Amino acid sequence: MRSHWWVMGVGLGLYGGACKTTPLESPADPKGEAPLSTEVHALIDEAADPCVDFYRYACGQWLDETVRPADQPRYGRFHELRERNKLAQRTILEEDAADANATGDAAKLGRFYATCMDEAAVETAGIEPLAPLLEAIAAAKDDAGLMRVLAQLQQVGARPLFDLDVDAGYEDPEITSVHVDQGGLGLPDRRYYLDEGEAAEALRAAYVEHVAEILDALGEPDAPQRAAEVVALETELARVSIPRDQIRDPDQRSNPMTVAELAKLTPTLPWKAYLEAAGIPEPKHLNVVAPSYVEAMGKVVAGAEWPVRRAYLRWQLGHALAQHLPARFAKADFEMYDLRLNGQAEPTPRWRRCVETTDGVLGESLGRQFVDRYFAGDSGRIAEEMIGQIEQAFAAALPGLEWMDAPTRERALEKMHAIVNKIGHPEQWRDYSALEVGSVHVANVMAGQRFEWRRQAAQVDGPVDRGEWHMTPPTVNAYYNPSGNEMVFPAGILQPPFFSADNPMAMNFGGIGMVMGHELTHGFDDGGRKFDGSGRLTEWWGPDAVSRFEERATCVEQLYDTYEIQPGVHLNGKLTLGENIADLGGIRQAHGAYQAWAAAHGGDATPAVEGLTNEQLLFVAFGQIWCSHATPEAERMLATTDTHSHARYRVNGPLSSYPAFWEAFSCEEGTPMHPAQVCEVW
C-alpha cells in the first residue's frame, strides 16, 4: 500500500524548523556560527534588483557559491537540514548495530541497518529470497491465479496494474475504506510512454534495455523480446491512465462501490480472489479512484498473452526491490532512474540508502530515538504558539474577502477552528514486536512491507485512527490531511537553524511561519476546500462563492502556466494549482501573523539584520528557504510529475501578487515583481 494521495507536504524544496531544540551534532554541522547579518547577507546577491527577480536577490550568492553534490539531483537549503537529520539517524543506527547488549526495538533497528550495510551478504543471498514469488508467478495459469499473485507482489512493495490504499472514506471520514487507484507503470508518468520526438523515443529505447537487464538478472529467457512486450503492455496502461492534472480532483476520486460493482468493471478479473489473498476478503467500504482506468486495465490484461503477463509481473517485482538486491540490480536501477531520468551523476551512498530504508520500515522506532535526542525542551509549545498566531491571521483576513459570502465565510472559520495540529511525533508509538528481522536484507525489506500491509488491512471497515501519522518524526516536511482536517509538523522540520527562539521573529515567520500558513491554506485550496471541518467530502460553499473562487483559481493556474523553467518547458498550472494557492496564502498568513505579533510587541522597529528592515527580512527569509539547485533532467521530470512549482516561482509567484511585498521593497508598478495583473485567493 502506498502513501496517501494528499500527503504532498510543502515540497522537497523545503527546509524548515519550528522550534528551539537540541541542535543536531553530526559531521555535517558547521563549526561555529556567523553573526546573523553575515549569515543572511552571505546568501544575497546585492547586485540583483529585488523588484526584478527576488529569488535571485535572496539566493544569488548561495546559487553562485554552492555546488550541488554529484549524488543528489536536487540540492537546496532544505537538503542541508535533511542531510544533517540523516547523519543523526545514521549515528543512532550505527550505535544500535554496535551494541551487543541492545534489546527490543534498538536491537531490531541495529540488525536491520547492519544487514542492509552488509553488501557481501546481499551478493551471497542473490535472488533466492524472491524464489517463492517467482515460483508463484510461474505457476499462475488463470485469472484467479493472476489476481492472487498480484496481491502477493503488492504486499512486498510492487505495484503491478493498479494501486491499493487504505484511508478514510470520502463520504464517511470516520470509517477506514479501501481505495483502488490506477498504477502499474515503471516510468514516472504516462507522458514518458506517449510523448513524441527523438528524446522521448531514445528514453523509451533505454527503458526497454533496462527492463531487459532486470528480467535477465531474474533468469527470464529471451529477456530483450519480453522487455519490449512488457513496455508495450505498460504503454497501453499509460494510454488509459488519467493525466495527473485531472485526477487531483477529490470529486472525481470519490466513487464508492461494492465488490460486485467493481467486478463488473473487469469481468475477466476475479476481485474476490485478489481481496482474499490481500487479507481484505469482504470490505464493506470500497472506493474506486479511477473507474475508467480500472475498466480499461481489465481489457488490456485480457488482451495480453500469458508469457507477457508473467514477464510483466517479474519485471515489476525486480523493479520494486532492485535497490535491495545484488549490485547488478542496483546499478541498473541507478543508471535508468537516477542518471538518465534525474541527471544524478553518482549513486546515493549506501549508508544513506540504508538509513532511508530503515526509516521506511521501522520509522517510528527510529523516530522515537531521534525525538529523544533532538526534540527537547519547549519545542512543541513554541511551535503550537506560532501555529495559533498563523490561524489568527487567517481568521483576521477572512472579513476582507469580499468575494466570499457571509455564511460561507462563517463555515470557513468553523473549519479552521476545527483543525487538529500535530507537533513533533505521535502520542502513541507503533508496535513493531510482530516484525521479525533476520540476516537477509531483501527478506527484511519484504517482511517490513508485509507487516505494514497487514497493519493497514486490519483497519479496513473500522474506525479511522486519528492518532496515526503519515510521515516519520525525522522527516523534513509537513502536511495537511483533508479527511482528518489536521496539520502535521514532524520533529525533523522543527529543527535549527531554520527556526530558533533566538532568531528575530521576522525570520521565524518568513521561514516556518510560511510553512504553517501553506499547510493551513491547503485546507482551502481547490481540493481541500471541498472537505468540511469533519473531513467529509461535501459542498459546504455557497454557489456564488464557488464561482468566485474558481475565477481566482483560474487566474493562478494561468499565471503559473506562463512560467518557463527551461526553453520550451513550462510549469503545469493545473497540476500545481493546489500547491500554488497554498504558497500564495502561506506567505500572506505568515506576514499577517508577524504584523500582529509586532503590534503586540511595540512595533519591532529595530532592524535585526543590517541593511534590511524587519519587514524586508521576513520576505528574504522566505525566499532563502527555497534556494536550490537541480539538474536539467530533474527539472524536466518535476515539471511533468510534481504538484509543486519550481523553486524560483515558489518565491517570485506569491510575492509578485502581494502588495505588502511591493511596499516593503518599493517596487513600482510595471516591474516584474509588481505586475499590473495579479492573483489573489486567500
Q: What is the pLDDT of residues 286-314, one digit of tens each?
A: 999 999 999 999 999 999 999 999 999 99
Lowest mean pLDDT across 194-208, 533-547, 561-575, 593-607:
593-607
CA distances from 154 to 147, 150, 157, 161 (A): 11, 6, 5, 10
Catalytic annotation present for 201? no
Structure confidence at residue 602 as a pLDDT band (50, 70, 90):
confident
The contacts of residue 252 (CB under 8 Å, 6+ apart) are 246
Range from 51-55, 343-347, 374-378, 602-606 carrying the lowest mean pLDDT: 374-378
Domain boundaries, the chain: 39-68+375-426+471-665, 129-341
Chain segment 413-471, per-residue pLDDT in tens: 999 999 999 999 999 999 999 999 999 999 999 999 999 999 999 999 999 999 999 99
pLDDT of residue 383: 86
- Return d(Cα 155, Cα 262) in angstroms, integer: 21
Contacts of 128 (CB under 8 A, 6+ apart): none
Q: Which of 519, 525, 532, 635 is flagged as catalytic?
A: 519
Mean pLDDT computed over every residue of the chain? 94
Residue where the block lists cell 504532498: 8
Measuring CA to CA, which residue among 201, 222, 200 is closest to residue 211? 222
Average pLDDT of the segment spanning 22-30: 37
Q: Is the pLDDT of residue 25 over 60?
A: no
Pairing of strands 564-566, 569-570: antiparallel
**Percent of the chain at pLDDT exceeding 70:** 94
Q: State how beta strands 286-288 and 256-257 pair.
A: antiparallel
Is the pLDDT confidence value at 18 over 80?
no
Active-site hit among 583, 604, 635, 642: 583
Distance CA 234, CA 137 (A): 18
Average confidence (pLDDT) over 547-556: 98
Q: What's the confidence (pLDDT) of residue 16?
A: 29
Q: Is the pLDDT of residue 7 over 70?
A: no
> CA-based angle 425:682:19, to the nearest 5?
25
pTM above 0.75, yes or no: yes
> Would you say 70 and 346 are in contact if contact means Cβ atoms under 8 Å apart?
yes
Distance CA 550, CA 542 (A): 12
What are the tens digits of pLDDT across the range 503-519? Answer: 899 999 999 999 999 99
Amino acid at 548: R
Give me the DSSP letters along 631-660. Answer: -HHHHHHHHHH-SSPPHHHHHHHHHTT-HH
pLDDT of residue 31: 38
642 given a catalytic annotation: no
CATH number of 39-68+375-426+471-665, picked from 3.40.50.300, 3.40.390.10, 3.90.1570.10, 3.40.50.920 = 3.40.390.10
pLDDT, average across residues 388-407: 96
Is the CB of residue 422 less than 8 Å from the CB of residue 491?
A: no
CATH assignment of 129-341? Answer: 1.10.1380.10
- Is residue 122 predicted with pLDDT exceeding 70? yes
Kindly report, residue by residue over 612-657, the tens digit of the pLDDT: 999 999 999 999 999 999 999 999 999 999 999 999 999 999 999 9
pLDDT of residue 377: 66
Phi-psi map region of 469: left, alpha, beta (phi>0 left; psi -120 to 50 alpha): beta
